[in-house]
Structure 1
Amino acid sequence: MRAVRFASFGDPAKVLRVEDCPLTAPGPGQVLLRMLVRPINPSDLFTIRGQYGRLPRLPATPGMEGAGRIESLGPGVHGFEVGQLVVPLGVGGTWQEYLVANAAALIPVPAGFSERDAAMLIVNPTSAWLLLHEVLCIDPGAWLVQNAANSAVGRFIIRLARRSGVHTINIVRRRELSEELLAEGADVVLCERDPDLLDQIAQIVGARGVRYALDSVAGVSGSRLIQALGQGGQMVVFGAISRQPLSIDPSALIFRNIKLHGWWLAEWFQNANPSQVMDLLATLQPLVADGTLRAPIAAEYGLEEVHQAIAAAEQSERNGKILLVN
């Protein structure tokens, strides 16, 4: 079978190889999946570069998300059938044709879900829902500012916030995205490059400033969000796609009582009990089905085109997810 592999951490263009690997039969309590669709997420690229919070033993196959169909069942597996579409939860190495996974880690995909919707069910929809409704717990009528608003999570935040009566200020790098995001439910769309960005935000929300902020960029962009927060405001950092550090004025923490903390989806899944996970997915599934949490797809590539796929995934101009398909 074909598998994307890397034997050292580094630039994906240099360390990734497509290799022929032996096919492993499932053992007791396991299933063999034929993987069909895998999104490329920032966490995958950080892992390949050796910059993620949890790194695999090398050599390794990347990929933290995807969907596949059951090819065969190992001894003692019940409740699943050959050909069934499933999502492996917390199972790394999805960037290969076949994957052996514990049956206990599989989530059956509801009828009516496409393979592509199923493949993108875990990372982005869960992040958006949890950040908005569990981490920040934003009340209706409050203002939230976020950067990277054109990302999949950013768009989901916009749609969920609109449903919940939360107002959003959405910061993007390309001004031409404004009409598109306004049509999705954004209250305001501003351009990252505007020198008076903070003044524009202040004119929208008033002298009290913004109460909530979501940062997935870090660097200059995230540092500016901290400045936009008012008294008692809080910002959650859940990504660092700029790969640059935040710069924080201590007076914001001292005199404005700003609260700044990080959040990691993998840690949430690690600490959640099975009923919490199933309740969350049950909440999200109808929102994926009705399109609220369905991400646009920018392009699809085969496993053998992984280098082209990663180059496309790292383009800031793209609109939508990049998928690896068989």
Structure 2
Amino acid sequence: MSTSPDRPLDERIRIREATRQPLGPTQVRIGMLAMTILPADLLQMNQQYGHQPELPYVPGHEGVAVVLETGREVSDLQPGDRVLPLGVFGVWSDELVVQRRSLVPVPSHAPVLQQAMLAANPATAWVLLQHQVTIQPGQWVIQNAANSAVGQCIRQLATHMGIQLINVVRRPEAVASDEGGHWLVDDGQDPDSLQQSVRQVTRGAPVVLGLDAIGGKASQALATSLSPQGRLVLYGLLSGEPCSICAHDLVFRNIEVQGFWLANWFLDPNNRQKAKNVYPELMKLATQNVLRIKVERVYPLSEVLGALAHSAQAGRCGKILLTGMHHREHQ
């Protein structure tokens, strides 16, 4: 990845060969099996992300890998083991050398593509529902961008946890009425209209948490729909616009607004104990088929430009994934 964000992606990205690096005593050589294309990756390519590496760089924040080789001090992993590289940047590669502490073992019999999508979106959904406010079974939560990957995970987890969920989407064709929660179609431009629709669904019961992936005027629509003392958590930037919140909701209804970035949550020392349980819980839920994310298409890493163009298309119904050279051997 290189050069100015003003130039098209196909002029800024190229495939290159890298020399294999020797292993240090606590390092592991991994072969990437499958990698996701996340909104974070696209934001970073356009220099709009919270962390911006120096150019040129290898993109990619999430995927699943197989152990190829271990350093002499690594005794708990063997070649052929499957692992999630967590906190590892640059995973759009056939092979990587990483520290052992960055790898979480996962079952080798589970679906590769589902494991590749486990680290970011399901973890975001889990933390948003488990660690923002205390939500009792039967209480109400509202989310926008409900057909996104995070939204899909929130729906599945809310059903599992017994949470009442309102899913807001902008287009009627985005409604998945056979999946968890109550669906509303709203373009985010008229907060009062959404509030009235929400009250009809909840019959006046409190809505304690709003999950906002869009920003802009959509933030105000969710804030207005919350009950007094409710919390709005902004975790996405899909609109590219500043978050808009009415002072009336902040001052007189005591709506609390908070930003959320999963990376910061994991780095917070106060979350250290809670963070240890996130991925074991998610792997258990994935094994139980509670969590399952839709995949629209898979591209080999060599076709990354086509994959990026596909990921930017509106109206997709699933994630776009990349596969590395070791994928066929370990499906």
The normalised TM-score by structure 2 is 0.90
Query: Quick one: structure 1 residues 305 and 192, their matched pair in 2 at CA, closer, same or farther if it must change by over 3 Å?
Result: farther
Shift of 1:117: 2.1
Aligned to 1:300: 298
Aligned to 1:318: 316
Shift of 1:9: 4.5
Distance 1:12 1:256 in 2: 45
5+ unaligned residues in a row in structure 2: which ranges? 325-331
Distance 1:303 1:268 in 2: 30
- For the pair 1:135 / 2:132, whether they are aligned, the reply is yes
Distance 1:116 1:123 in 2: 13
Distance 2:204 2:83 in 1: 50
Letter in 1 for 2:292: R
Shift of 1:223: 2.4
Query: Quick one: structure 1 residues 50 and 26, their matched pair in 2 at CA, closer, same or farther if it must change by over 3 Å?
Result: same
Aligned to 1:41: 38
For the 8 Å contact 2:229–2:256, the answer to whether it is kept is yes
Letter in 1 for 2:2: F
- Paired positions, count: 319
Identity %: 37
Query: Quick one: structure 1 residues 80 and 8, their matched pair in 2 at CA, closer, same or farther if it must change by over 3 Å?
Result: farther
Query: What are the within-5 Å matches in structure 2 for residues 156-235 of structure 1?
Result: 156-178=153-175, 180=176, 182-186=177-181, 188-193=182-187, 196-206=193-203, 210-235=207-232
Shift of 1:88: 0.7
Letter in 1 for 2:261: W
Query: Quick one: structure 1 residues 278 and 208, their matched pair in 2 at CA, closer, same or farther if it must change by over 3 Å?
Result: closer
Q: CA RMSD in A?
A: 2.0
Distance 1:242 1:14 in 2: 25
What do residues 85-141 of structure 1 show as CA deviations (whole Å, max 9, x unaligned)?
Answer: 111110100011111100111111124322212211111111111110111221222
Shift of 1:314: 2.0
For the 8 Å contact 2:34–2:322, the answer to whether it is kept is yes
Aligned to 1:6: 2
Query: Quick one: structure 1 residues 111 and 18, their matched pair in 2 at CA, closer, same or farther if it must change by over 3 Å?
Result: closer
- For the pair 1:118 / 2:112, whether they are aligned, the reply is no
Letter in 2 for 1:299: R
Q: Indicate the SS of the match to 2:314.
A: coil
Higher share of residues assigned strand: 1
5+ unaligned residues in a row in structure 1: which ranges? none
Letter in 2 for 1:315: Q
The one of 275, 279, 282 equivalent to 2:280 is: 282
- For the pair 1:257 / 2:251, whether they are aligned, the reply is no
Distance 2:11 2:166 in 1: 38
